[in-house]
Structure 1
Amino acid sequence: MTAFETVLGGMRRAALAGVLMLLAACQTPTDRLYTLSVLPGAGAAGATPAALALGSLELPPLVDRPQVVRRIDSNRVEALEFDRWAEPLADGLRATLAGDLAARLPGRNVLPVAGAAPGPGVAVLSVTILKFEGEANGRVVLDAHWTLGSGPRRRDTLEVQGASGEPAALVAAMSQAVALLADRVVAGR
């Protein structure tokens, strides 16, 4: 084998290694999908209706998107491109809140969607989420107005400290915040 052939063989191996490294770098990361989860109840129910229908539930546009959103500082947020909700957040939040309420109101009907005209004894819960964010330090804030039936409009600002600012930990802390909101609704305060 001549010196030229040796150099040419080395160049081919280097070129092949470069192509393989380039292909590995171009591989797209896979999406990680998250859902909120229903958590067990923490207290006794106050005076609650025989049946409860979850009526309107509004989310701020900042978080009503496919990506999990994490607040970086007071002026910046980041939409985590590969950390996504498995379903629209409003749908997942509605189902989770209904599940949390059902877990706290055994023997009572909890309807995830209010009908056009609920019957007697059915109270409608309306919720407006003002803020529902995870922060880079792991803290989650859920700020919501809610009304149950003809009762007064209430506002709760709930904070949960998650294990970290990583998406899985933030979603777990968000589930805890929704469970705390269900506790407040059931307690009637």
Structure 2
Amino acid sequence: MERMRGLRGAAMALPLLVLAACQSAPDSQLYTLAVVPPSGTAQPVRTAFQTLALGSLDLPMLIDRPQIVVRIDSNRVKELEFNRWAEPLADGLRSTLTGDLTARLPGVTVLPVAGSAVEEGTAVLAVTILRFDADISGRVVLDAQWSLTQAGGARKIGPTREAVDVSAASAGPDALVRAMSQAVAIFSDRIVAAVRR
């Protein structure tokens, strides 16, 4: 008798388990940063270097993760579990920054990695990202410090700190990532403006 009750309970629970197993988690959406063309025609730049190479690119651990991070308030953030970067954020940021600088510095070869031996005529750009996230209202902040050093130490620009603030069209992940790409483009514009001086 006891055994029959146990079997009856298991038989009643089985349909619930089957239904629970049929439910699936939402599909993950994968995002990448995108190169944003300059607003006008990029003018050739007269520089002391023919090649610009990206050296160190450091990110805070807070954002160096697969999920897109959204700031809730000054002390709390949340990960958008099903809205992820398609590649490590540092790699995506490096390739986007390279593309943005290439579009803004015609006549200058922009390399995504400096390498161990920097040749004469090459400047190395070092970037430390202090903050790069969005808040729940759709405001994106890119706060970074950068410096540019020419091979042989002939000329150095920086360290310079830049804070870029972009409002996204909405607080949805698509709009946030577009605004983050725009923030990287504005950051690139400021680097190019400093190089032109």
Relative to the length of structure 1, the TM-score reads 0.85
Q: Find the residue that maps to 2:78 and give its secondary structure.
A: strand
Q: Compared with structure 1, are the counterparts of its residues 74 and 87 closer, same or farther at alpha carbon in structure 2 (3 Å cutoff)?
A: same
Q: Find the residue that maps to 1:75 and give its secondary structure.
A: coil
Counting only pairs closer than 5 Å after superposition, residues 74-89 of structure 1 correspond to structure 2 as: 74-89=74-89
Q: Compared with structure 1, are the counterparts of its residues 38 and 57 closer, same or farther at alpha carbon in structure 2 (3 Å cutoff)?
A: same
Which residue number corresponds to residue 57 of structure 2? 57
Q: Find the residue that maps to 2:33 and give its secondary structure.
A: coil
Which residue number corresponds to residue 176 of structure 1? 182
Supply the distance in 2 between the matched residues of 1:70 and 1:79 (Cα, whole angstroms).
6
1:21 Cα shift?
A: 6.1
Length, aligned pairs only: 173
Q: Compared with structure 1, are the counterparts of its residues 45 and 183 closer, same or farther at alpha carbon in structure 2 (3 Å cutoff)?
A: farther
On the 8 A contact 1:39/1:176 being kept in 2, the answer is: yes
On the 8 A contact 2:53/2:114 being kept in 1, the answer is: yes
Supply the distance in 1 between the matched residues of 2:50 and 2:160 (Cα, whole angstroms).
21
Q: Find the residue that maps to 1:40 and give its secondary structure.
A: coil
Matched, 1:102 2:108: no
Candidates 17, 30, 33, aligned match of 1:33? 30
On the 8 A contact 1:44/1:187 being kept in 2, the answer is: no
One-letter code of the match for 1:113? V
- Note the residue ranges of structure 2 that are not aligned, 5 or more in a row: 1-13, 150-155
1:181 Cα shift?
A: 0.8
1:19 Cα shift?
A: 7.9
Counting only pairs closer than 5 Å after superposition, residues 1-189 of structure 1 correspond to structure 2 as: 22=20, 26-42=23-39, 44=43, 47-48=46-47, 49-149=49-149, 150-188=156-194
Supply the distance in 2 between the matched residues of 1:34 and 1:180 (Cα, whole angstroms).
20
On the 8 A contact 2:123/2:148 being kept in 1, the answer is: yes
Relative to the length of structure 2, the TM-score reads 0.81
Supply the distance in 2 between the matched residues of 1:64 and 1:47 (Cα, whole angstroms).
35
1:107 Cα shift?
A: 2.3
Supply the distance in 1 between the matched residues of 2:180 and 2:44 (Cα, whole angstroms).
22
1:109 Cα shift?
A: 0.5
Aligned Cα root-mean-square deviation (Å): 1.9
On the 8 A contact 1:45/1:186 being kept in 2, the answer is: no
Supply the distance in 2 between the matched residues of 1:131 and 1:19 (Cα, whole angstroms).
44
On the 8 A contact 2:68/2:79 being kept in 1, the answer is: yes
Percent of aligned positions that are identical: 56
Supply the distance in 2 between the matched residues of 1:187 and 1:73 (Cα, whole angstroms).
33
Mean CA deviation greater in 38-47 or 92-101:
38-47
Post-superposition Cα deviations, 1:86-107, rounded to whole Å, max 9, x if no partner, equal: 0000000000000000010122
Supply the distance in 2 between the matched residues of 1:96 and 1:85 (Cα, whole angstroms).
13
- Note the residue ranges of structure 1 that are not aligned, 5 or more in a row: 1-14
Q: Find the residue that maps to 2:157 and give its secondary structure.
A: coil
Supply the distance in 2 between the matched residues of 1:183 and 1:117 (Cα, whole angstroms).
27
1:47 Cα shift?
A: 5.0
